[in-house]
Structure 1
Amino acid sequence: MMTRLFLFAFAAIVLLHVLWPMPAHAQDARLPVSQCQAIAQGLPDVTFANFKPAVLLNVQAAAEEVTITYIGHSTFLIETPDGVSIATDFSGWYAPPKVPDVVTMNKAHSSHYTLTPDPAIRHVLHGWGDDGKLADHDIVVGDTYIRNVTTDIRSFGGAMEPDGNSIFIFEVAGLCIGHLGHLHHELDDTDYAEIGRLDVVMVPVDGGLTMGAESMSRVVTRLRSSLILPMHRRGPPVTNFLQMFGDGFDKSFATSDNLRVSLRSLPRKPLIYILQGV
């Protein structure tokens, strides 16, 4: 009798385990995992993920270089160790030397997007939502994981449109590379938690079309990136932006429009690096 009761209870437990719904994230093991995202243990005190290259990467991977070329305005060409090419805030006005595999766009102005991209571009990622849906990108292309964090954008009438812009983040060769897009407001704690660690950040320095230099400098300081690449300069000299940063930052004007960077070559002290053409 006791044996029959035990078997019945065991069978009931097994059946319950089989039929119990699994969490959504456990059903899809294909979702990429960010190595750069912050861990919000208790906002507003955001703790960045503890990143140990010796654990996550071998020596060769840590030395792999990513090439970043300034094309113009807010467009950079990112070329990865496996040959993936990505153009940021792509409009076609500032054309890379070759058709990129991936383009990201934001819709602030026509200089940041196009609705008629070259059909040869395999992945066209809008920073705004289509068909009433929030822009939500989680895509792996070759050796690169690409995701986005939406921010609000100022419309031509002056009102703020929720989630109309995206900060795109490219995780490759152990690096976390972020492009702030046409950022129109300072970020909050939730934004910083979603963005996570950015080793390299591309930041607009127009002095007002996006945000004033002081507001933008607060964003850059909070992100604590190793390498800051100004972009989107219209009007005021870039020195206006540089003056917002004290001795905690190095500043340097490049002799070229491109650079090669790896996890191992990141500067120890935050460096604002102005590529030629900016």
Structure 2
Amino acid sequence: MLRYAVLLFVAIAFIHLVWPMPAAHAQATPPASPQATRPVSQCQAIAERLPKVQFAAFRTDAAVPRAVAGEAGAVTITYLGHSAFNIVSPEGVSIVTDYNGWYKPAETPDIVTMNKAHSTHYTLSPDPAIAHVLHGWRDDGEPADHDLVLRDAYVRNVVTDIRRGWGGDAMEKNGNSIFIFEIAGLCIGHLGHLHQELTEVHYAEIGRLDVVMVPVDGGLTLGPDSMSRVVSRLRSSLILPMHRRGPPIDRFLSLFGSGFDARYGDSDSVTVSLRSLPKKPLILILKGV
């Protein structure tokens, strides 16, 4: 009897070894989703959309982990005109914001970003030598979605709405993008042609901004009071005005209290790194603005 039981056990074990496994077991590990392959944003301390979240800008009096700081060098930002800046990474990646073909650096940039608001913010016939042309909108009205990594630069976007035409109240969904450039540990944001106050969801998607480029036209984009609230909420270390048409720049500066410093630059460029960020938020008016 015992011998029979042993033989039966051996037979069952042999069948389990050689019999093909059901298909369900072969697929126990699901394939990775496209979302899982996206770069990890260092500027979003929390990946989920949380209500009432507020991200603190980096402060130079805090310790900088070597892996975060990068210590590969600094980022140079040059004002080209209107709302176009040339951002150059430590490894030489050249990016131009709101590229319209008129304001451009001496060398062909690697990446250009555009917004649909007006012809001064985009061109449908860019230099074909530009490797990456990122529209802040989609022709089908759906949100543009960019996650581009080029050497030491990571470019992503957060969409907002824009007004239809001049002077109207009707809004076009997803017509503007706030482009965010994550370089050398810095979080650099360009608000584009912003027409609406940001929501809690927007702030959560943006995360931390150490440097922010802000339109200060006094109403062609967002009104000055609303724009000052956005800037105050972002609490960036370095604020670079742009798109100045209409009121003098002093009108924009007057909206900020003693918690902000203001200075007129003697150059159209600024070089910045994590360690050189001002400890107190600074509104820096580059030459030409």
Whether 1:37 and 2:48 are equivalent positions in the alignment is: no
Query: Given the two structures, how large is their TM-score scaled by the length of structure 1?
Result: 0.89
Q: How does 1:113-128 map to 2 (within 5 A)?
A: 113-128=122-137
Task: Return 5+ residue gaps in structure 2 as ranges.
Answer: 1-7
Deviates more, 1:92-101 or 1:159-168: 92-101
Whether 1:226 and 2:233 are equivalent positions in the alignment is: no
**Structure 1 residues 81 and 205: alpha-carbon distance in aligned structure 2, compared to 1, 3 A threshold:** same
Which residue in 2 is equivalent to 1:22? 30
**Structure 1 residues 134 and 44: alpha-carbon distance in aligned structure 2, compared to 1, 3 A threshold:** closer
Q: Could you tell me how far 1:94 is from its partner in structure 2?
A: 1.4
Q: How does 1:92-171 map to 2 (within 5 A)?
A: 92-156=101-165, 157-171=168-182
Give, in whole Å, the separation in 1 of the partners of 2:236 and 2:127: 33
Task: Return 5+ residue gaps in structure 1 as ranges.
Answer: none
Give the structure with higher Rg (CA).
2
8 Å CA contact retained: 1:139, 1:145: yes
Which residue in 2 is equivalent to 1:214? 225
**Structure 1 residues 12 and 57: alpha-carbon distance in aligned structure 2, compared to 1, 3 A threshold:** farther
Which residue identity is paired with 1:127? G
Whether 1:273 and 2:284 are equivalent positions in the alignment is: yes
Which residue in 2 is equivalent to 1:202? 213
Q: 1:57 aligns to what SS in structure 2?
A: helix
Q: 1:62 aligns to what SS in structure 2?
A: coil
Query: Given the two structures, how large is their TM-score scaled by the length of structure 2?
Result: 0.86
Give, in whole Å, the separation in 1 of the partners of 2:193 and 2:45: 22
Q: Which of 235, 241, 244 is equivalent to 2:255?
A: 244
Give, in whole Å, the separation in 2 of the partners of 1:228 and 1:33: 25
**Structure 1 residues 119 and 231: alpha-carbon distance in aligned structure 2, compared to 1, 3 A threshold:** same
Give, in whole Å, the separation in 2 of the partners of 1:50 and 1:219: 14
Q: 2:276 aligns to what SS in structure 1?
A: coil
Q: Could you tell me how far 1:37 is from its partner in structure 2?
A: 1.4
Give, in whole Å, the separation in 1 of the partners of 2:67 and 2:233: 25
Whether 1:83 and 2:92 are equivalent positions in the alignment is: yes
Identity %: 64
Q: Could you tell me how far 1:93 is from its partner in structure 2?
A: 1.9
Whether 1:261 and 2:272 are equivalent positions in the alignment is: yes
Give, in whole Å, the separation in 1 of the partners of 2:85 and 2:180: 13
- Alignment coverage as a number of residue pairs: 274
Q: Could you tell me how far 1:55 is from its partner in structure 2?
A: 5.7
Q: Could you tell me how far 1:53 is from its partner in structure 2?
A: 3.3
8 Å CA contact retained: 1:165, 1:182: yes
Q: 2:274 aligns to what SS in structure 1?
A: coil
User: Which structure carries more relative contact order (alpha carbon 8 Å, separation 6+)?
Assistant: 2
8 Å CA contact retained: 1:175, 1:263: yes
Q: Could you tell me how far 1:40 is from its partner in structure 2?
A: 6.5
Tell me the C-alpha RMSD between the 2 structures: 2.7
8 Å CA contact retained: 1:39, 1:47: no
**Structure 1 residues 71 and 16: alpha-carbon distance in aligned structure 2, compared to 1, 3 A threshold:** same
